Amino acid sequence: MIRLQKKLFYNGNIYTMSAEQPIANNVLIEANKIIALNVESAPEAELINLAGKTMLPGFNDSHLHVLNFGMNLNIIDLNGVSSIAELIELTKNYLAKNDVKAEQWVFGWGWNQELFKEKRMPNRFDLDQASKQIPIVLTRTCGHLAVVNSKALNLLDISAKTEVTGGKIGKDESGSLTGIFAENALELVYKWRDNLDVSGIKSHILKAAKKLRKMGLTHVQTDDLASTNAGYQKVMQAYYELADENNLPIKFNLQLRLKTPAEIREFLSKNSLSKYSDYLTLGPLKILADGSLGAGTAALRKNYHDQPNNKGKLAYSYQEMYNLIETAFKNNLQVACHAIGDRTLEVYLAILGQLQPKFNQQLRNRIVHCQISDYKLLNKMAELNISADIQPAFTATDWQIVAKRVGKEREILSYAWKTMFDLGINAAGGSDCPIETPAPLWGISCAVNRQDKNNKPEGGWLPWQKLTLTDALKLYTKNAAYNCFKENEIGQIKEDYLADFTILAGNPYKISETKIKDIEVAGTVVNGNLVWN
Amino acid sequence: MIRLQKKLFYNGNIYTMSAEQPIANNVLIEANKIIALNVESAPEAELINLAGKTMLPGFNDSHLHVLNFGMNLNIIDLNGVSSIAELIELTKNYLAKNDVKAEQWVFGWGWNQELFKEKRMPNRFDLDQASKQIPIVLTRTCGHLAVVNSKALNLLDISAKTEVTGGKIGKDESGSLTGIFAENALELVYKWRDNLDVSGIKSHILKAAKKLRKMGLTHVQTDDLASTNAGYQKVMQAYYELADENNLPIKFNLQLRLKTPAEIREFLSKNSLSKYSDYLTLGPLKILADGSLGAGTAALRKNYHDQPNNKGKLAYSYQEMYNLIETAFKNNLQVACHAIGDRTLEVYLAILGQLQPKFNQQLRNRIVHCQISDYKLLNKMAELNISADIQPAFTATDWQIVAKRVGKEREILSYAWKTMFDLGINAAGGSDCPIETPAPLWGISCAVNRQDKNNKPEGGWLPWQKLTLTDALKLYTKNAAYNCFKENEIGQIKEDYLADFTILAGNPYKISETKIKDIEVAGTVVNGNLVWN
């Protein structure tokens, strides 16, 4: 049945994201490829009547954690919790409902003390109210900090004297443990997380990927290697098997969290950077260079506004980061560096300024998050051709805390998405899921409105940094494709491009901008395969 | 009273349009200059409490006709007229109310047959219903075409045999005159317009400039030399006298409409291109290279969609335009070329491609209007560093006719303001007043919404070409300053810049985008002089 290989999408609002031809009347695909736009007729094609729906290039999340997302589908969801009392209640309910046994570890994710009416972090004694028999670990929304109960502390065998390089174990004024663990110290508590086998990892990835596709994503760039203590080899094996079995519902780029030059070399001796299939590509190297703003662990050039003796902390010394990046460059591996604080940005840019010319390369090295910035740093980024991977949803989550953390003067130059566009920095959009919901339409809404779900603040936060809808759509299509070297195959609806589309029930151009987030995803096309939601 | 030289503007929303420091708490000026932002105190300054108002760099219109605007304040306003019957009625009323005598010429401006329920142009016989004794000339909104009554035809002594090079005298199928005059033929009817003396010209300019300031403009780039048949010398004298008398309420750049190399040389032998005062600067050369889309006289590469044998017409041959531009470059004079059709754009860009490298200069040569375009032409513009002077209000006026005139395929790549920003073309905003209202807030609203006054079409016309509010504000501030070489003195609120501000009663960032047009202008500051409306 060769004729069924062709499909004609017509009778919709088709926005291509291509400057040469911004809209199309219809799109003809054959197997996994777009073969023509605006055809007069297509006698051999299956006709797909879009019936007034909106079709866009498939959405692509430039930075998230698919495996974590899958694992989190099985843990306590603490997003949006508004008090410590509610946190305790939710945890108690989860234990009862899931019939959790004593000494079986339980994990939760998503709390944010800024949303608590108590305006403080929870501690071990709060969590003891949920259980004194079951060890509990509740991670803050940022992923850089967690609180555990007393049972967990006992099982972890941690004393007030335990120290972890690059990490923090919370103590109160009297020196007693508070139950708080931050940064590298988290490894102590996460080692108890399910020690997954390959089939378990595959099941989490699949479950997550199906959910992501429903939300309109056809491609993700995921940072999963360090998400379990199973070791990255098992994660890689899981992805290879899923690809070999043609079982991946969407396309993946793996962001490689490798922590030392030796680890990079070892990884590359066993894995090839060339494209594995349309569905699986490896790279870039992911470097986690600082913490988060909420936890006060992002590295700043000057002290936190509300913490006079704290500048945060770099996860690597200058030389360590230099060595990591040099190793990547020697192996022709692109680098994506998590940088939330301006100090991290400064150090990373300085190293790239040294190393890029030396290797005479243009690997589209990337900055993930890029939150606290100023015009000079952004200019330097543009000069060095560094791309950004931004999380528009952070504007909704963070708008009330940024001035508190860094003061007004640094606030007004931060989360500067529009300035990036103005300077010609290629900015791609992502969710950092499970930090934020992976729904691209929420990210797009945030980029356009810079408001939270209650449409606050009025007029949007730092409103001169709002993006147009088209630029916001580009974040998740054309620009996300560029950052992973796929701008000639996905991200636009164009002849010879792969047939990856997201189909929306409503037209975001025709409604009020605050309604964009409510548009339903009607379906997706991945490599020519159409699935209606 | 030296201390009164200083003024501190505080307690408002101050948007600077500077990327380094996008907002300010307060602005301290001394005489005509900004001396500091965000001062802690200013004991010697007069305190100007903005009381929550919004302050921006002063608005700058990058292309309009101030003298025409002044003259039009004394003629029949035909903007928005919705039928030929109404046109006749308005004209009759004007004649009665102003007690016009027989043989005294009467002029009107602003009709547009697209808005008429008859959907045709008026003719001499329609106008004869208003008067057969008084000569009447009613110009179309585009300024490229007019209709006169039979009395005017008699006085003009025009027969069916009269021909004008580069112009058109309308005839019906039987060869009789219809009363229509287009392009160069308009000179025949305009020569009867008031043959103004210098004091008349000064009075028109002053009247217009005061009105423009009320609307929030502190700077205009005006094309006036050919606006009367008094000759450009008198217009120049009027401006010099107004500047010498310190009588200009706002700042002016004169766009020099000179039609031959000889005229350019003659002009430059008597006038200096160096800055005359803060209020008066000469340049660029203005070339009127084609007509208008509405009148079907803009020069296209392919026929008009609704006029199978018409491509419009270039006002100059390639060689004539080449000679004009070469003469300008030899004299270090920037060029701004009116180009509405894509053919005109193509020819102008080809000539600049030849001449710019030859003169090894960067005069920020400009394209005024730049309506019918495509991605390739805009890329070429970017490559040659050509600036644009766009009229956002044209989107509201033209959205219903563009597809009719040029077809869907050319429509979707035209009026491509956002693409210009994406390509790094410096686009400045203007009104082409009296073609459109000179109110900058209307232009800003159109750039953001791409809708007419009834908020049509839904979602905006070619909505991917919408600008963010900040970019729309830049059109009339920072970008307009760049096009006239004043980016280091006006267009941003920055230390050492001139104190030119526009103060708005409402904050455009805090209201729904369709309400921007309704914000009231509270006052203006020009060279340090504050005037509340």
Give the residue extent of every domain in chain A.
2-52+521-532, 67-190, 196-498
Nearest residue in chain A measured CA to CA from B455: A510
- Is there a contact between B142 and B295 (Cβ–Cβ < 8 Å)? yes
From B233's Cα to the closest Cα of chain A, the distance in A is 43
B377: pLDDT strictly greater than 80: yes
pLDDT at position A360 is 76
Q: Does A469 touch chain B (CB under 8 A)?
A: yes
pLDDT at position B196 is 77
Tokens of A329: 């460059």
**Nearest-CB residue to B15 (from A375, A464, A468):** A464
Chain A residues inside the 8 Å CB shell of B20: 375
Nearest residue in chain A measured CA to CA from B473: A464
What mean pLDDT do residues B510-526 have?
97
Q: Does B424 touch chain A (CB under 8 A)?
A: yes
Q: How far apart are alpha carbons A87 and A72 in whole angstroms? A: 16
Put simply, the answer to whether A464 touches B20 (Cβ < 8 Å) is no
> Tens digits of per-residue pLDDT, B454-473?
999 999 999 999 999 999 99
From B162's Cα to the closest Cα of chain A, the distance in A is 45
From A509's Cα to the closest Cα of chain B, the distance in A is 6
Residue A411 C-beta-side C-alpha neighbours within 13 Å: 18
**Nearest-CB residue to A470 (from B22, B412, B418):** B418
Mean per-residue pLDDT of chain B: 94
Tell me the residues of chain A between 331 and 390 that have a Cβ less than 8 Å away from chain B.
Answer: 375
Q: Phi-psi category of B335—alpha, beta or left, where left has phi over 0 and alpha has psi -120 to 50? A: beta
B306: pLDDT strictly greater than 70: yes
Helix H or strand E segment including B353: helix B342-359
From A186's Cα to the closest Cα of chain B, the distance in A is 38
pLDDT at position B229 is 79
What mean pLDDT do residues B227-248 have?
94
Candidates B20, B420, B422, B468: best to mutate against A (most CBs of A within 10 A) is B468
From B37's Cα to the closest Cα of chain A, the distance in A is 13
pLDDT at position B1 is 40
Residue A258 C-beta-side C-alpha neighbours within 13 Å: 28
Residues whose CB falls within 8 Å of the CB of residue B260, separated by 6 or more in sequence, listed in order: B324
pLDDT at position B3 is 45
Q: How far apart are alpha carbons A418 and A399 in whole angstroms? A: 16
Put simply, the answer to whether B469 touches A464 (Cβ < 8 Å) is yes
Q: Does B16 touch chain A (CB under 8 A)?
A: no
**Nearest-CB residue to B468 (from A22, A418, A458):** A418
Q: Does B2 touch chain A (CB under 8 A)?
A: no
**Nearest-CB residue to B467 (from A23, A412, A468):** A468
DSSP state of A416: -
Chain A residues inside the 8 Å CB shell of B507: 459
Q: Does B19 touch chain A (CB under 8 A)?
A: yes
Chain B residues inside the 8 Å CB shell of A19: 375, 419, 422
Q: What's at B197, amino acid-wise? A: D
CATH number 2.60.40.10 given to A2-52+521-532: no
**Nearest-CB residue to A15 (from B22, B464, B510):** B464
pLDDT at position A4 is 60
pLDDT at position A447 is 98
Chain A residues inside the 8 Å CB shell of B468: 418, 464, 466-468
Chain A residues inside the 8 Å CB shell of B459: 507, 509-511
What mean pLDDT do residues B277-296 have?
95
- Is there a contact between A418 and A467 (Cβ–Cβ < 8 Å)? yes
Question: What architecture (CATH level 2) is domain B1-52+495-533?
Answer: Roll (2.30)
From A375's Cα to the closest Cα of chain B, the distance in A is 5
> Tens digits of per-residue pLDDT, A189-242?
887 766 678 988 998 899 999 999 999 999 999 999 998 878 899 999 999 999
Q: How far apart are alpha carbons A80 and A115 in whole angstroms? A: 7
pLDDT at position A178 is 95
Q: For residue B171, list its beta bridge partners.
A: B177
| Burial class of B69 by CB neighbour count within 10 A (0 to 12, 13 to 18, 19+) | buried
What is the crossing angle of helices A318-330 and A261-270, to 10°? 20
Q: Name the one residue in this structure whose structure tokens are 């043959």.
A: B195
**Nearest-CB residue to B419 (from A19, A412, A459):** A19
Question: What architecture (CATH level 2) is domain B71-190?
Answer: Roll (3.10)
Q: Does A413 touch chain B (CB under 8 A)?
A: yes
Question: Burial letters for B322-332: b for 16+ Cβ neighbours within 10 Å, e otherwise?
Answer: bbbbbbbbeee
Put simply, the answer to whether B22 touches A458 (Cβ < 8 Å) is no
Residue from A285, A266, A314, A146 nearest A225 by CA:
A285
> Tens digits of per-residue pLDDT, A138-178?
999 998 999 999 999 998 888 878 888 888 999 998 989 99
Q: Does A455 touch chain B (CB under 8 A)?
A: no
Q: How far apart are alpha carbons A396 and A449 in whole angstroms? A: 9
Put simply, the answer to whether A412 touches B21 (Cβ < 8 Å) is yes
Put simply, the answer to whether B466 touches A469 (Cβ < 8 Å) is yes
> Tens digits of per-residue pLDDT, B351-374?
999 999 999 777 899 999 999 999
pLDDT at position A114 is 92
Nearest residue in chain B measured CA to CA from A465: B470
How do strand A106-111 and strand A136-140 relate by DSSP bridges? Answer: parallel
Is the preceding omega at residue B284 within 30 degrees of 0, hence cis?
Answer: yes
A141 phi/psi in degrees, rounded to 5: -55, -35
How do strand B59-64 and strand B217-222 relate by DSSP bridges? Answer: parallel
Candidates A40, A420, A464, A471: best to mutate against B (most CBs of B within 10 A) is A464
> Which CATH number does A67-190 carry?
3.10.310.70
Tokens of B257: 């409409």
Q: Does A237 touch chain B (CB under 8 A)?
A: no
From A491's Cα to the closest Cα of chain B, the distance in A is 16
Tell me the CA distances in angstroms from B19 to A412, A416, A465, B470, one per residue in order. 10, 10, 10, 11
Candidates A468, A478, A492: best to mutate against B (most CBs of B within 10 A) is A468
Residue from A398, A424, A430 nearest A411 by CA:
A398
Q: Does A422 touch chain B (CB under 8 A)?
A: yes
**Nearest-CB residue to A509 (from B418, B463, B507):** B463
Put simply, the answer to whether B511 touches A459 (Cβ < 8 Å) is yes
Residues whose CB falls within 8 Å of the CB of residue B411, separated by 6 or more in sequence, listed in order: B402, B403, B462
From A18's Cα to the closest Cα of chain B, the distance in A is 10
Nearest residue in chain B measured CA to CA from A509: B459
Residues whose CB falls within 8 Å of the CB of residue B451, separated by 6 or more in sequence, listed in order: B395, B396, B457, B460, B461, B514
> Which CATH number does B289-467 carry?
3.20.20.140
| Burial class of B137 by CB neighbour count within 10 A (0 to 12, 13 to 18, 19+) | buried
Candidates B37, B378, B464: best to mutate against A (most CBs of A within 10 A) is B464
pLDDT at position B530 is 97
Reported as a pLDDT band with limits 50, 70 and 90, residue B188 is confident
Q: Does B451 touch chain A (CB under 8 A)?
A: no
Tell me the residues of chain B between 501 and 520 that have a Cβ less than 8 Å away from chain A.
Answer: 507, 509-511
**What is the mean pLDDT of each successive set of 10 residues along chain A, which is 533 residues long?**
76 96 97 96 94 98 96 87 96 88 85 94 96 94 93 87 88 92 90 76 93 98 91 96 96 97 97 93 97 94 95 96 97 97 98 94 91 96 97 97 96 97 97 96 98 96 97 98 97 98 98 96 97 97
What topology is assigned to A196-498 in CATH? TIM Barrel (3.20.20)
| Burial class of B15 by CB neighbour count within 10 A (0 to 12, 13 to 18, 19+) | buried
pLDDT at position A2 is 46
- Is there a contact between B464 and A509 (Cβ–Cβ < 8 Å)? yes
If you count residue pairs, one on A and one on B, with CB atoms under 8 Å apart, how many are there?
65
Chain B residues inside the 8 Å CB shell of A467: 468
Q: How far apart are alpha carbons A72 and A211 in whole angstroms? A: 12
Put simply, the answer to whether B375 touches A418 (Cβ < 8 Å) is no
Q: Does A468 touch chain B (CB under 8 A)?
A: yes
Chain A residues inside the 8 Å CB shell of B511: 459
Q: Does B467 touch chain A (CB under 8 A)?
A: yes
Put simply, the answer to whether B375 touches A469 (Cβ < 8 Å) is no
**Interior angle at CA B456, CA B516 and CA A492, nearest 5:** 95
Q: Phi-psi category of A388—alpha, beta or left, where left has phi over 0 and alpha has psi -120 to 50? A: beta
Put simply, the answer to whether B469 touches A466 (Cβ < 8 Å) is yes
